[in-house]
Chain A
Amino acid sequence: MSILNILSEFMYILCGIVTLSVAICSLKNDQNKYTTFLFWLIISIMFIFSKLIPSYIIGGLIIVISILTLTKKVSVGQFSESSRKFRLEMSKKYKNLVFIPALLIGVGAFLLLQIKGVSTSLALGLSAIISLIVAIIIFKPNAKETIEDTNKMVMNVGPSSFLPQLLTGLGAVFTAANVGEITSKYAQVFINEKYIITAIIAYCLAMAIFTMIMGNAFAAFSVITTGIAAPFLLSKGLSPEIVGALGMTAGFCGTLMTPMAANFNVVPAAVLEMKSYTSILKTQVCVAIPLLISHIILMYIMTL
């Protein structure tokens, strides 16, 4: 194992340490103390020891955490809030300096990825650490407060932050079960292999429609990409990066048009005290449909 490999793996161990800190902190919870502890402890084990534990045990641990969330045994602890007065004072004092570490997270990752041999995990992890160091130098924050705030944020973002990972797991099961084949069988009806545009239309429309049904573009992506993009577009030599990038955002066009994506289209109506969420959907459809058509045209042009 090269030093770069070890460092890449170390980034995941750090993730495990963050969730271990959350686990310990949850022992101070008022409710669901031990089950919340267990939840974050398991997550932490899955990150730190993932290379040592056999996959089926990790799978078993996933079942355990899903039982914990299903029975609503994972709660958020009680935390003190930083005062608005303090934050306003600090924003007057530091002005735009606050944006420098914020920019470093993204720009740093982009630059690190240009170096040969640097893995994505290393680049993303390292840029976060570098910007943390810069922030510590600029603001000299209290360490205890920072740890507590981090625990609070992880708990608030909560179990759902692992959803993309679990949805990919679902996609992996779909692939193993050959669900993609069924999707391609249905797609074949609409696709004329002589004209690549028909496959592009089928892929973009299927992404949007599946997202509307499932309420989640991430969930739709692996099924539709495996079922339609792989046999009808990628195997014809189209750039996988272009197909993937545009396929995902074609799915987002679906997200704009469905009440199934409650977080984005229904909850905000309540947050903004609206009479009904339908007017949000109506507004968004006017942009989503032209955008979806643009996806088809752009994918065709970019892969010519």
Chain B
Amino acid sequence: MENLKLIGIVIIVLGFCFKLDVIAVVVFAAIATGLVSGMTFVQILEVMGKSFTDTRLMSIFLLSFPVIVILERYGLKERSSELILKLKNTTAGKLLYLYAVIRTIAAALSIRLGGHAQFVRPLILPMAQASANTDDENKNEKIKSFSAAVENYANFFGQNIFVGASGGLLIQQTLVSLGYDVSLVKIAIYSIPMGIIMLIFVYIQSVIFDKKIGKVK
């Protein structure tokens, strides 16, 4: 029964569904897949251990933490907020679009600016709400949705443009294991067009959004 090998995928889905501890779910899925495919327990440990050592590169971002905490203590977020606040007089859609652009560029440079809890909730959403100036509950819900969405768009399609993003490293490691020698810089460069296309679509969405919210300054 070859399809039994897909048990690992089923375990991941169930584990994520029931919000079990992610690390344990992934490790368990690996063991189960190995066992049903006829590998011995030690062989499975061997494969996982070797892969961990081969992919240590993905965790090298730990070395950037000391400089990041210094920057945060010396006002990185406060200064960024101030720069964004200078853009006050605009529509909600334009403002959120601008945030998407800045956030994409920051992600491409691996600057940790953003986050739903760290940036959108305390800064971006209040500014968007102030620009829209509406009491309508449905419109308010739309503003919140779009605020949450721009954060994701920019985060997802900006991050791989950074050379050494964990996504880029995963691409590299997977292709190397398949026997293709690939350049990390090229992976980053080929991620740029999609970042730009994303910003074009988000611009269109922001224009439609402003029409729906109905207040054009």
B145 x A106 contact (CB < 8 A): no
The reply to whether A283 and B149 form a contact with Cβ atoms under 8 Å apart is: yes
Chain A 163-210 residues near chain B, CB threshold 8 A: 163-179, 182
Which of A50, A94, A226, A286 is B74 in contact with, Cβ under 8 Å? A94
Question: Is chain B's interface secondary structure helix, strand, loop, or mixed overall?
Answer: helix
Asked if A172 contacts B48 (CB within 8 A), the reply is yes
In the complex, chain B residues 41-91 whose Cβ is within 8 Å of any chain A Cβ: 42-53, 55-79, 82
Q: A128-B63, A139-B70, A274-B141 are in contact. Are A168 and B170 (CB under 8 A)?
A: yes
Interface centre among B23, B144, B190, B202 (most CB of A within 10 A): B23
A298 B174 Cβ-Cβ under 8 A: no
Please give, as numbers and ranges, the residues of chain A lying within 8 Å of B175 by CB-CB distance. Answer: 225, 234, 240, 244
**Which residue of the partner chain, among A86, A90, A165, contacts B56 with CB atoms under 8 Å?**
A165
Q: Count contacts between A and B, CB distance < 8 Å.
A: 443
Interface residue? B211 (CB, 8 A): no
Write the A252-289 contact mask toward B (1 if CB under 8 angstroms, else 0).
10011000101011011101111100011011101100
A67 at the interface (CB under 8 A from B): yes
Nearest-Cβ distance from residue A237 to partner chain B, whole angstroms: 11
Q: Measured between C-beta atoms, what is the minimum distance from A193 to chain B in Å?
A: 19
**Does B71 contact A90, Cβ atoms closer than 8 Å?**
no
Q: How far is the CA of A142 from the CA of B36 in the complex (A)?
A: 54
Contact present for B205 and A172 (CB under 8 Å): no
Closest Cβ neighbor of A63 among chain B residues: B27
Contact B52 A214 (CB under 8 A): no
For B148, give its contact among A171, A173, A248, A272 (CB under 8 Å): A272
Residue pair A166, B71 in contact (C-beta under 8 Å): no
* Cβ contact within 8 Å between B142 and A279: yes
B64 CB to closest chain A CB (Å) equals: 4
B173 located at the interface, meaning its Cβ lies under 8 Å from any Cβ of chain A in the complex:
yes
Give which listed residue, A11, A135, A168, A255, contacts B173 with CB less than 8 A: A168
Residues B23 and A160 in contact, CB atoms below 8 Å apart: yes
Do B5 and A265 touch (CB < 8 A)? no
Q: How far is the CA of A159 from the CA of B27 in the complex (A)?
A: 13
Q: From A170, A256, A283, give the contact of B26 (CB < 8 A).
A: A170
Shortest Cβ gap from B87 to chain A (Å):
16
Question: Contacts A165-B58, A169-B51: A226 and B174 contacting too (C-beta < 8 A)?
Answer: yes
Contact of A117 with B by CB under 8 A = no
- Whether A164 lies near B58 (C-beta < 8 A) is yes
Chain A 80-108 per-residue mask, 1 if CB under 8 angstroms from chain B, else 0:
00101011111111111011011101110
In the complex, what residues of A have CB within 8 A of residue B182's CB?
240-241, 244
> Given A136-B70, A153-B65, A244-B175, is A87 in contact with B78 using a C-beta cutoff of 8 Å?
yes
Per the bound structure, the CA–CA distance linking A190 and B212 in Å amounts to 40
Q: Are B23 and A214 in contact (CB under 8 A)?
A: no
B141 touches A249 (CB 8 A): no
Q: Which of A51, A57, A141 contacts B49 (CB 8 A)?
A: A57
Name the residue among B108, B120, B174 with the largest chain A CB count within 10 angstroms.
Answer: B174
Interchain nearest-CB distance for A72 vs B (Å): 7
Q: Closest approach, in angstroms, between the C-beta of B41 and any C-beta of chain A?
A: 9
Q: Given A90-B75, A165-B58, A272-B120, are A59 and B63 also a contact pair (CB < 8 Å)?
A: no
With A91-B75, A244-B174 in contact, is A179–B51 under 8 Å at CB?
Answer: no
B216 contacts chain A at the CB level, 8 A cutoff: no
The residue of chain B having its C-beta at the shortest distance from the C-beta of A72 within the complex is: B21
Q: Is the CB of B174 within 8 A of A222?
A: yes
Nearest-CB distance from B164 to chain A (Å)?
5
Q: Would you call A32 an interface residue if the criterion is a C-beta within 8 Å of the partner chain's C-beta atoms?
A: no
Are A171 and B174 in contact, with the CB atoms below 8 A? yes
The interface residues of chain B lying within 8 Å CB-to-CB of A65 are: 23
For A86, the chain B residues whose CB sits under 8 A away are 73
Give bound CA distance, A6 to B149, whole Å. 44
A199-247 contacts to B, CB under 8 A, are 213-219, 221-223, 225-226, 230, 234, 239-242, 244-247
Please list the residues of chain A having a beta carbon within 8 angstroms of any beta carbon in chain B: 11-12, 14-15, 18-19, 46-47, 50-51, 54-63, 65-67, 69-70, 72, 82, 84, 86-96, 98-99, 101-103, 105-107, 109-110, 113-114, 120-121, 123-125, 128-129, 131-132, 135-136, 139, 141, 145-147, 149-150, 152-154, 159-179, 182, 213-219, 221-223, 225-226, 230, 234, 239-242, 244-249, 252, 255-256, 260, 262, 264-265, 267-269, 271-275, 279-280, 282-284, 286-287, 290-291, 294-295, 298, 302
The 9 closest A-B pairs by CB, nearest first: A91-B75, A59-B45, A58-B49, A59-B49, A177-B37, A149-B69, A70-B24, A55-B49, A91-B78
